[in-house]
Structure 1
Amino acid sequence: MAMVTENGTYSSGEQYDIISKVAYLLGMNKRIFENDHEPPKLEIFKKLDIDKRARIIRNLCLLRNQLEHNFLKVCQAIQQEGRSILGMPEYMSADAMKALSDDGIEIYNHLKEPTPFLTNINLNIKSRINNCRDLFPEWINWNYLSDIFIMPGGTTPEGQKKAAAFFYENINYYPYKQYMNWPAQDEGNILLNDKKFVTLLYRWNNDEFQNLSFVSDVSDRTKANIYTFIENSDKCVFIVDCENSDPYSLCAAIRNLEPERLEKIEKIILFDDIHAASAWELLKSYIDIPVEYIMIERLKDNKSLADVKVTARTCKEFYTNNVDSFVLVSSDSDYWGLMEELPDAKFLVMVEHDKCSFALKEALIKKDIFYCYIDSFYAGGAEDIKNDAIQKDLARTIRESLDLNLKELMNEVLGRTRIEMSDEEITSFIKRKIKNQLEIEVNEDWDVELKYRVRK
């Protein structure tokens, strides 16, 4: 994907989801999203515009910004012409007010002065911005992000005057001259791309954002090398050492490549290990390439057989199945011997920054074998598989931790209380008295307690 930079040229690898959502919520004009030379994405505007939570915040921010820009004119129209805020569409958007009313938000009833009107807007934004938390990924600091929508001291006339003075003094630094809460300074277009915005967002809070794969993608050059490698092959297979790779990075990488350019890939062979991430078995549900999943048993708990299995299978694919090209996904330098022993096979290697040794990278360069960092691909493409992996593992862990059978429990209780019940009576009692009265409570230390509420 090529996008416009500040100097008018195009760059690749940038992401625009975060800044498009921020621009929408701040009330940026739709024309900005429709302009091919501006970064915010129209598809995100359309998606958020049907979400009531997002739509409410957008219209509140839009009206606040219009009031900041036209405060004196609104005051004069009220005081000198006797007009209502509801009846000055040249200053205050009637469409935004109607949309808020349709969404059940009445912020202007019986208000004849702009100051209490602004107070009402700020109160609504402050109380409702957390409704938009789920619109953004888990990795972003929500406290940092939500704060840009809240006017400091915005519920008092003094705070509003101070915020307005700062806004007017620095208005040319604000993105598209739209009000937001930030230490306004000359940073260029802060909504240029996700990488720039998120990096600045953390810096404003005396923090540093380091997970750059969440806000940018690998270059077009890297992708072009991968496409060329695949296209020049007769048969291409992915060989994945799961113990020395990350399932989420691989999923994100594949999903950020053009599907039609991957059609020559015969399959992905996963060599999994009990000590590897539990999400590998989910991968096939999230990509459109055939996956062969192999779980490698261990003869000794401290000894993996992955190296041997990967080497043997790669040789079989080359000599028996006529596969000539392999994308090896592993940061383990032990596979250098495999590549040396198959000089007629073509290899492309995907490694991780922190796991790959300098010696391996140097050897790959000397042999003219292309390698790329799998954890440099845009990581946003793996959010759903991460969520699925967490949910499935939670379900399994909770199921194993909570080893409780209600019928066995009832038999213990009946024995201690010396009460006799038939099987039918026990079943009926469980359904009527126990099943719907079990509750789970979580305390401040995140300890979980299963409670039975006694109801008379």
Structure 2
Amino acid sequence: MYMYWQPTECGYLLYSDAKFLDVIYAQHGEQFVEAYKYRDASDDTKENLYKFIHASTSVVMVVDCENCNPYKLYGVLKNLDPEDMRLVQKIILFDDYHTTIAWDYIEHMIQIPVDHIEVPRVTDAKSLVDIQMAVGVSKAYFKDEIDSFILCSSDSDFWGLISSLPEARFLVMYEYSKCGKAIKDALDSRGIFHCAMDDFYMENAGDLQKIVLKKVLEKYLPNVVGENGWELTRQIYSDAYITAGEKEMRRFYEKYIKTLRLKIGDDGRFYVAMNDWE
């Protein structure tokens, strides 16, 4: 493979993958912002996760679907040792209908059993996921004798839950952009290990993203006539809760939006069809 670049004084170019990519992209007037495609969590981070699991009598992973990115969580799960993760009894998803449909598919793509709890709303303006999750964890601790919880959420409200169960063991996974210093300091003060999902290698979440993008596009097909293809692409990525650069969305646009076509079904009716998904 050959790369064309303009030699310049930048120190040791191969000091790290990060520096190499930053320099190459900058020379072409761009910024590399997808570090998750090459970096991974440290061995210490993974070892602390495994130690937490092995030290537990019984452990479940509890996910606040409103405050957790499904693709990041999926990338984490795919990047951890399967033998160690088999000790996790199950994953409990506390979901709301306003979240992405990605949660409906993630449970079919991992080896750990999943309980997917969709929390109804009394009023459309108020989610009850927080309270339902707190009750669920308390029930699992007192009734089901679960002693350890991997809590996946960036919501500081769950400090109330953690502090209310001082005998339970917690490990917290969050996202950098949604979790402040105060809650991290509080976790440190209690000796609770915490880590960011952002630190794990995420490129392996692409298979889940493809499935969700396809399902979202299929939802729009019956009414796609007259729509602007590029705006439709943006809307599909928004509905799928996938953050992507314009180039990535352009590739999707060229491959799947511009190639939509009319077909006639067995009933003689026209419908809009997409290319086979690769």
**TM-score (ref. length: structure 1):** 0.48
Checking the alignment, whether the CA contact within 8 Å between 1:271 and 1:295 is kept in structure 2 is yes
Are 1:244 and 2:55 counterparts? no
Q: Decide which of 77, 83, 86 is 1:263's aligned counterpart.
A: 86
Gaps of at least 5 residues in structure 1 are: 1-25, 27-148, 150-179, 403-429, 441-456
- Alpha-carbon distance in 1 for matches of 2:224, 2:144: 45
- Cα 1:300–1:220, aligned 2, differ >3 Å: closer, same or farther? same
> Match for 1:257: what amino acid?
L
- Alpha-carbon distance in 1 for matches of 2:182, 2:59: 26
> Match for 2:67: what amino acid?
N
2:4 aligned counterpart, secondary structure: coil
2:146 aligned counterpart, secondary structure: coil
Q: How does 1:307-386 map to 2 (within 5 A)?
A: 307-386=130-209
Q: How does 1:226-305 map to 2 (within 5 A)?
A: 226-305=49-128
Checking the alignment, whether the CA contact within 8 Å between 1:199 and 1:209 is kept in structure 2 is yes
Aligned to 2:26: 203
- Please say which structure displays the higher CA radius of gyration: 1
Residue 188 of structure 1 and its aligned partner are, at CA, apart by 4.5
Q: How does 1:13-412 map to 2 (within 5 A)?
A: 26=1, 149=2, 180-185=3-8, 188=12, 190=14, 194-399=17-222
Moved more, 197-206 or 181-190: 181-190
> Match for 1:270: what amino acid?
L
Checking the alignment, whether the CA contact within 8 Å between 2:151 and 2:170 is kept in structure 1 is yes
Deviations 1:375-412 (A, max 9, x none): 2211111011011111011112324667xxxxxxxxxx
- Cα 1:248–1:431, aligned 2, differ >3 Å: closer, same or farther? closer
Which structure is higher in helix share? 1
Checking the alignment, whether the CA contact within 8 Å between 2:222 and 2:272 is kept in structure 1 is no
Deviations 1:125-159 (A, max 9, x none): xxxxxxxxxxxxxxxxxxxxxxxx5xxxxxxxxxx
Residue 287 of structure 1 and its aligned partner are, at CA, apart by 1.4
- Alpha-carbon distance in 2 for matches of 1:435, 1:313: 48
**TM-score (ref. length: structure 2):** 0.77
- Cα 1:184–1:263, aligned 2, differ >3 Å: closer, same or farther? same
- Alpha-carbon distance in 2 for matches of 1:278, 1:303: 20
2:203 aligned counterpart, secondary structure: helix
1:362 aligned counterpart, secondary structure: helix
Aligned to 2:256: none
Gaps of at least 5 residues in structure 2 are: 226-263, 274-278
- Alpha-carbon distance in 2 for matches of 1:221, 1:278: 33
Aligned to 1:95: none
Residue 207 of structure 1 and its aligned partner are, at CA, apart by 2.1
Residue 240 of structure 1 and its aligned partner are, at CA, apart by 0.2
- Alpha-carbon distance in 2 for matches of 1:358, 1:275: 28
2:167 aligned counterpart, secondary structure: coil
Higher relative contact order (CA 8 A, sep 6+): 2
- Alpha-carbon distance in 2 for matches of 1:347, 1:220: 20
Q: What is the number of residues matched between the two proteins?
A: 233
- Alpha-carbon distance in 1 for matches of 2:71, 2:125: 25
Residue 198 of structure 1 and its aligned partner are, at CA, apart by 2.8
Checking the alignment, whether the CA contact within 8 Å between 1:243 and 1:277 is kept in structure 2 is no
Deviations 1:325-377 (A, max 9, x none): 00000011111111111111000000110111221111111111111001221
> Match for 1:242: what amino acid?
C
Deviations 1:281-332 (A, max 9, x none): 1111221111111111111111110111101110111111111000000011
Deviations 1:48-101 (A, max 9, x none): xxxxxxxxxxxxxxxxxxxxxxxxxxxxxxxxxxxxxxxxxxxxxxxxxxxxxx
- Alpha-carbon distance in 1 for matches of 2:265, 2:167: 68
Q: Any runs of at least 4 consecutive aligned residues in structure 1 with deviations exceeding 3 A, and if so which?
A: 185-190, 192-197, 399-402
Checking the alignment, whether the CA contact within 8 Å between 2:92 and 2:116 is kept in structure 1 is yes
- Alpha-carbon distance in 2 for matches of 1:290, 1:195: 36
Alignment RMSD (CA, Å)? 2.3
Identical aligned residues as a percent: 38
- Alpha-carbon distance in 2 for matches of 1:390, 1:295: 21
> Match for 1:258: what amino acid?
D
1:248 aligned counterpart, secondary structure: helix
Deviations 1:106-141 (A, max 9, x none): xxxxxxxxxxxxxxxxxxxxxxxxxxxxxxxxxxxx
Checking the alignment, whether the CA contact within 8 Å between 2:221 and 2:272 is kept in structure 1 is no
Aligned to 1:50: none
